[in-house]
Chain A
């Protein structure tokens, strides 16, 4: 059930060369509306190949990037968007092409436990959209996505920090949480990072460092539960061992079945 290749055989069986750019573009748009994105992308590609100098070629190129993106074929979407940026850098659609390029990385980021290599690439391309086309409306949604990707990176650091904290490797944990506090202040993880620092310093017996971390937490994140936990910990009434549901069976259920960290 391979897709019907569009090279040579165009609409109604005649060779595609005999159609004008506008007709092929129209057919591609028809395929787009039918949500046949891969076929649409191939038709847009034909417009660009047969009539590279026509006005249609430019619009076909950006539509091709968009079609591949909808088809989740991020590789081709990136190469089409990159071609558009190379040929028409000053065009108003260039901002959209750059944005599509950034989206192709961003949409592949998923659950926090996974690959952070993609997150870096997404951040870089989102930053180019924000810096090169600041006033375009893509810049605004890029900023939003940039913060989300940035938050994603911070949660990766936190996850590794907790990994070491649970295994009592306090210096490794502290260094990871310090990275979050110093490089990722704008993310939602800073409060937890500060509390984990309090937990780690108290475990090492460095009470004054714990106080400084707790003070920063209190100053910036007074209303969070993290501050409450730190406050209790620093004033000596830490969490009791026997919290509800903390017997070893529920611990096995949480960690083995649910995949929780503690």
Chain B
């Protein structure tokens, strides 16, 4: 049985990247040449990150990330390109996510109320 590969995200091609020169281009010219970044940082001076990853879907297993390309374009104080780095899957760290969730248990519908709310479906096959 075959594994199925699915690609997500986008990383600019090498010749796009070659048009960016460190120390000259600013945020706007980078966005124009390479396209909108996949994501960025929280602070204002944070860099542009383009991420492309490949997932392997196989039978009942959880989809597994088998390949990731990350192009990081970092800027200095006044928004000029400082450095272009590449990261791979191996740079990432597997993190155990904390299960806690901030909930303010509002007065959401009780289970019974939800069940009653969606009654009324007619199923011909039970004739």
A contacts B directly in the complex (CB < 8 Å)?
A: yes
Number of interface residues of B (CB under 8 A): 38
Nearest residue, chain A, Cβ from B94: A203
Give residues of chain B (38-63) contacting chain A, Cβ–Cβ below 8 Å. 38-43, 46-47, 49, 51, 53, 55, 63
Segment of B27-35, B101-109, B119-127 engaged in the interface with chain A? B101-109
Chain B residues whose CB sits within 8 angstroms of the CB of A239 once the complex forms: 96, 98
> B102, A260: Cβ atoms under 8 Å?
no
Q: Is A175 an interface residue (CB 8 A)?
A: yes
Segment of A49-57, A69-77, A127-135, A165-173 engaged in the interface with chain B? A165-173
Question: Is chain A's binding surface mostly helix, strand, loop or mixed?
Answer: helix
Question: Is chain B's binding surface mostly helix, strand, loop or mixed?
Answer: loop
A12 CB to closest chain B CB (Å) equals 38
> A155, B102: Cβ atoms under 8 Å?
yes
Q: Which of A167, A225, A241, A260 has the most CB of B within 10 A?
A: A167
> A181, B108: Cβ atoms under 8 Å?
no
> A189, B102: Cβ atoms under 8 Å?
yes
Chain B residues whose CB sits within 8 angstroms of the CB of A181 once the complex forms: 42
Nearest residue, chain B, Cβ from A212: B43
> What band does the interface of chain A fall in when counting residues whose beta carbon is under 8 Å from B?
35 or more
Nearest residue, chain B, Cβ from A260: B99
> A206, B104: Cβ atoms under 8 Å?
no
A261-B95 contact, Cβ under 8 Å, with A111-B106, A197-B42 = no
A206-B63 contact, Cβ under 8 Å, with A171-B51, A175-B39, A188-B104 = no
Q: Is B76 an interface residue (CB 8 A)?
A: no
What per-residue 1/0 map shows which CB atoms of B78-106 lie under 8 Å from chain A? 00000000010001111111111111101
> A166, B102: Cβ atoms under 8 Å?
no
> A205, B91: Cβ atoms under 8 Å?
yes
Chain A residues whose CB sits within 8 angstroms of the CB of B93 once the complex forms: 202-203, 205, 238
Residues on A lying within 8 angstroms of B by beta carbon are: 110-112, 148, 151-152, 155, 158, 162, 165-171, 174-175, 178, 181, 188-189, 191-192, 194-195, 197, 199, 202-206, 209, 212-213, 216, 225, 229, 233, 238-241, 243, 260-262
Subset of 7 A-B contacts with CB under 8 Å: A167-B63, A168-B55, A204-B51, A204-B91, A206-B70, A206-B87, A212-B42
Residues on B lying within 8 angstroms of A by beta carbon are: 8-9, 38-43, 46-47, 49, 51, 53, 55, 63, 65, 68, 70, 72, 87, 91-104, 106-109
